[in-house]
Amino acid sequence: MPQSHPARSFVRPLIASLSLASLSLAFAATVAHAAPAADIRALAQQEQQPLLDTLRDLVQIESGSKDIEGLNQIAARIAGQLKELGGAVDILQTTDIYRLDDTPEKIGPAVQAVFKGTGSAKIMLIAHMDTVYLKGMLKDQPFRVDGDKAYGLGIADDKQGIATIIHSVALLQKLNFKDYGTLTVLINGDEEISSPGW
């Protein structure tokens, strides 16, 4: 049975992850438009608790690959946050499914959010919201933070990825960084079963 794994020294590296993600997205900015690294780090530190709150909320939604109710619930949660950030958001359903031996009758949705910038680069950030855990396991392994580690089902694969993407976009907005043509976020709901729908 899958166990809850901590992401080693998870909380502190979230700041570094946010800083690195934002710096990576902002690499093409001219010196005149780029914020100093210290400013980016300070803003990333301000995002730490909101990121942990998002991570907690995502982990508290059971979203196994075959749990359509849970996948729809987490998709709505993610879509809501991306919409609040100003993205043009769609929850996508597919009927064109590549059938494998273990492909369920229905697969989870995908969330797509597109942010328009003032530059020309096309950037895509991808993660997935489905997990390998069976419905009901959350009650025995709830989200918790212990020191500099966060624990919870699906936390490393890939709910932290979703939280990092959401808060990287928020950080870019705080930096007023728009030197891209489109920034597309795509979160799918069937990665753990080989992404037969996407």
pLDDT digits (tens, 9 = 90+) for 110-146: 999 999 999 999 999 999 999 999 999 999 999 999 9
pLDDT at 26 over 60: no
Count of domains in the chain?
1
Q: The tokens of 99 are what?
A: 């059938």
Q: How many CB atoms lie within 10 A of CB 173?
A: 13
Q: Percent of the chain scored above 70 by pLDDT?
A: 82
Q: What is the mean pLDDT of residues 4-26?
A: 51
pLDDT at 32 over 60: no
Residue 6 counted as domain residue? no
Q: What is the mean pLDDT of residues 32-53?
A: 82
- Mean pLDDT rounded to a whole number for the chain: 85
Q: Percent of the chain scored above 90 by pLDDT?
A: 64
Residue 1 counted as domain residue? no
Which domain covers residue 53, as residue numbers? 11-193
Lowest model confidence (mean pLDDT) among 1-5, 55-59, 122-126 = 1-5
Backbone φ and ψ of 186, nearest 5°: -130, 120
Residue 158 counted as domain residue? yes
Q: The tokens of 56 are what?
A: 């907690």
- The catalytic site residues sit at 130, 191
Residue 4 counted as domain residue? no
Q: What's the CATH number where 100 sits? A: 3.40.630.10
* Side-chain-side CA neighbours of residue 153 (13 Å): 22
First-last CA distance in the chain:
27
Give pLDDT, residue 91: 97
Cα(173)–Cα(86) distance, integer angstroms: 10
Residue 3 counted as domain residue? no
Output the pTM of the full model: 0.84
Residue 198 counted as domain residue? no
Residue 130 counted as domain residue? yes
